[in-house]
Amino acid sequence: MADSRDAPLVLGIETSCDETGVGIVRGTTLLADAVASSVDEHARFGGVVPEVASRAHLEAMVPTIERALKEAGVAATDLDGIAVTAGPGLAGALLVGVSAAKAYAYALGKPLYGVNHLASHICVDQLEHGALPEPTMALLVSGGHSSLLLSTDITSDVRPMGATIDDAAGEAFDKIARVLNLGFPGGPVIDRYAKEGDPEAIAFPRGLTGPRDPAYDFSFSGLKTAVARWIEAKRAAGEEVPVRDVAASFQEAVVDVLTRKAVRACRDQGVDHLMIGGGVAANSRLRALAQERCEAAGIRLRVPRPKLCTDNGAMVAALGAEMVARGRAASDWDLSADSSLPVTDPHVPGVSHGHDHDHVHEVAKDNLYS
Amino acid sequence: MLLLALDTATPAVTVALHDGESVVASSSQVDARRHGELLLPAVDRVLAEAGRKLDAVTGIVVGVGPGPYTGLRVGLMTADTFGLVLGVPVYGLCTLDALAYASCIEGPFVAATDARRKEVYWARYADRRTRVTESAVDRPADIADQVAGLPAVGAGARLYPDTFPNAHEPEHVSAAALASLAVEKLEAGEEPAAPRPLYLRRPDAQVPKNYKVVTPK
Ligand SMILES: [Zn+2]
């Protein structure tokens, strides 16, 4: 399934949160995935501090680009394009990546593609399982987002089916980990404790699952409060908190709702593929329950390996390569970082480049060979 | 020599090209919120005006602040990345020094820029080439004694006339001045500084004391 040599060679830059990611792909083949994380610097704050993240991106960018090129064994001059996360994400953090990508593309004389972070999370699966079937239903869950998206064309048509109305799923993991004094980030540690606990020990609420609730939206705020209240009651009574059972029961409540709604969306829309991405996709119970329910419903499940699920540059490169392959318009040099870029914009085409594919091709050629 | 100069540490997004003899092209736009959008097109325009391509550049000088961080990083990240691709040295110069260098004041004076939050970034100069204090960030009222009687340049001075009653040109830093100062320093054999940002403040970050209790008391 290796891509031929003429598949687009693209470098992608990702700085929407606390990971400085630079990835290189050729078509759907992963060549490099270099990530520098500032997560340790945020740990004592119990959450990502935007200014700390932005400062770290500036420091890490050039070494991470160099590392990715070395890992891929390609020359920068051979690249067919530079992709960058234009949004959504932390404004100041995004701006560091956008500034680097622009300067990099300009200095190399290559086209620049500002792309959507969420669409990138979907597209990354191509690096693991080959070309994505279209349409694909995508469940994206992380500390920053929890969405159900229907992708009919990953470069031009991604439709929001549902999203969290309050906290992101990953945020709930972080908050419960904090209540249990387990540190930050909460996802991996809750997953670990939950493995030794009973998921049915405590009946925590499943948000927005009533008959009149929106079918595809999520809510984790009520669950978070219920878990915290339960723990506080135990402590107030002087009883020991059964950390493993709390972790398992809380986690079960989250992944039950996520998988139930994702499978329902697939059925309702007649889509037989579900991909799960974002940092929370690394959760072992989410993977297991999704597999079980998808099998029962006759849906093919695609979940990339954990390193590709968390924020990285390869996912941005994967979507950039798709933009090049499908002749999408490059971005202009005045591309903005847009902290609230809507998911319905998989990329940010430049005005001066227009939407005409032939014309775009001309621009790309001129950039490549001039 | 062809030196590309950039500064985005203040509301001025400013770019200049210096050939070792003189500034051959420059651009300055004042817009505190659009550094990211304005900088690359400005570089492109300045190069086009000079009839040069980026790969002819032999060195880059960038203003390292002090300045509001989000904008400041645009110039630094751009300079670093150009340096990486072109394989040319990237020098850092204090933005206040470039502001001071463009003044025509005889004798000691102060350069001050807007640090937001009712503060200024500032430094004292013996003359336009000689800074005599480290650059700092302070409330104007708190430094009134240290700047009393001195003329001042920069937008920070204009914002606080009580502290800086004697405000002079220039109001904004220009990359043309930054480039000229850099060329002067290079020719004098001065060791150029690395392009490290002068933030002067720690990041704002609240350490959560403990989790917030949700059970009503
Ligand atoms: Zn993400």
Which range among A41-45, A312-316, B58-62, B131-135 shows the weakest confidence by mean pLDDT?
Answer: A41-45
| Other residues' Cβ atoms within 10 Å of the Cβ of residue A293 | 20
Measured distance CA(A103)–CA(A115) in Å, rounded: 16
Tokens encoding A117: 């972070």
Q: What is the pLDDT of residue B213?
A: 56
Query: What fold, for B3-94+173-188?
Result: Nucleotidyltransferase; domain 5 (3.30.420)
Contact A106 B204 (CB under 8 A): no
Per-residue pLDDT, A198? 98
Q: How far is CA A5 from the centre of its chain?
A: 28
- Distance from CA of residue B122 to its chain's centroid? 11
- Predicted local distance difference test score (pLDDT) of residue A3: 59
Average pLDDT, integer, range A222-245: 96
Alpha-carbon Rg for chain B in angstroms = 19
The torsion of the CA quartet A293, A295, A299, A302, rounded to 10 degrees, works out to 90
Contacts of B203 (CB under 8 A, 6+ apart): A49, A51, A52, A55
Mean pLDDT (whole number) for A204-213: 94
Contact A135, A336 (CB under 8 A): no
Residue A35 burial class via C-beta count within 10 angstroms: exposed 0-12, middle 13-18, buried 19 and up? buried
The answer to whether B3-94+173-188 and B96-168 have equal CATH topology is yes
Evaluate the CA torsion angle A145, A151, A153, A157 in order and state its sign. Answer: negative
Annotated binding site of A for Fe cation: 117, 121, 311
Q: Is the pTM of this model over 0.90?
A: yes
User: Residue A231 has which token pair?
Assistant: 């723990």
pLDDT at A355: 46
Which A-chain residues 83-102 have CB contacts (< 8 A) with chain B? 91-92, 95-96, 98-100, 102
Mean pLDDT of A287-304: 98
End-to-end Cα spacing for chain A: 32
pLDDT digits (tens, 9 = 90+) for A63-122: 999 999 999 999 999 999 999 999 999 999 999 999 999 999 999 999 999 999 999 999
Check B44 against A106: CB less than 8 A apart.
yes
3 state DSSP class of B28: strand
Residue, of A47 and A314, whose pLDDT is higher: A314
Q: What percent of chain A has pLDDT over 70?
A: 94
Residue A31 in contact with residue A24, Cβ under 8 Å?
yes
**Residue A325 touches chain B, beta carbons under 8 Å:** no
Q: Does A359 touch chain B (CB under 8 A)?
A: no
Note the pLDDT of residue A39. Answer: 82
Domain boundaries, chain A: 4-128+309-326, 137-303
Provide the H-helix boundaries in chain B: 35-50, 69-86, 95-101, 144-147, 155-159, 175-187
Residues 6+ apart with CB under 8 A from B67: B8, B9, B10, B95, B113, B115, B121, B198
Top CATH class of A137-303 equals alpha beta
Looking at residue A370, its pLDDT comes to 26
pLDDT average, residue stretch A53-59:
97
Burial class (CB in 10 A: 0-12, 13-18, 19+), A176: buried
Instruction: List chain B pLDDT tens, one digit each, 217 residues.
Output: 999 999 999 999 999 999 999 999 999 999 999 999 999 999 999 999 999 999 999 999 999 999 999 999 999 999 999 999 999 999 999 999 999 999 999 999 999 999 999 999 999 999 999 999 999 999 999 999 999 999 999 999 999 999 999 999 999 999 999 999 999 999 999 988 999 999 999 887 765 554 555 554 4
Which residues on B lie below 8 Å from A232 (Cβ)?
213-215
* Per-residue pLDDT at A144: 83
Is the confidence at residue A357, as pLDDT, over 90? Answer: no
Name the amino acid, one letter, at B68: P
Which of A98, A107, A175 lies at the smallest CB-CB distance from B36?
A98
User: Is residue A368 pLDDT above 50, yes or no?
Assistant: no
pLDDT of A221: 94
- Mean pLDDT computed over every residue of chain A: 92
CATH fold match for the domains A4-128+309-326 and A137-303: yes
Pairing status of strand A157-163 against strand B130-131 = unpaired
How far apart (Å, rounded) are the C-alpha atoms in residues A229 and A188?
Answer: 22
Answer yes or no: do A103 and B211 touch at CB < 8 A.
no
Is the per-residue pLDDT at A129 higher than 70?
yes
Give the fold, CATH level 3, of B96-168.
Nucleotidyltransferase; domain 5 (3.30.420)
Q: Kindly list the domain boundaries of chain B, sorted by start residue.
A: 3-94+173-188, 96-168
Instruction: Give A361's pLDDT tier (boundaries 50, 70, 90).
Output: very low
CATH 3.30.530.20 fits A4-128+309-326, yes or no: no
Give B70's contacts in chain A (Cβ within 8 Å).
54, 91-92, 95
pLDDT band at A351 (very low <50, low <70, confident <90, very high): confident
Over the stretch A180-193, which tens digit does the pLDDT of each residue have?
999 888 999 999 99
What are the DSSP calls for A42-101, one per residue?
HHTTTS--HHHHHHHHHHHHHHHHHHHHHHHT--GGG-SEEEEEEESS-HHHHHHHHHHH
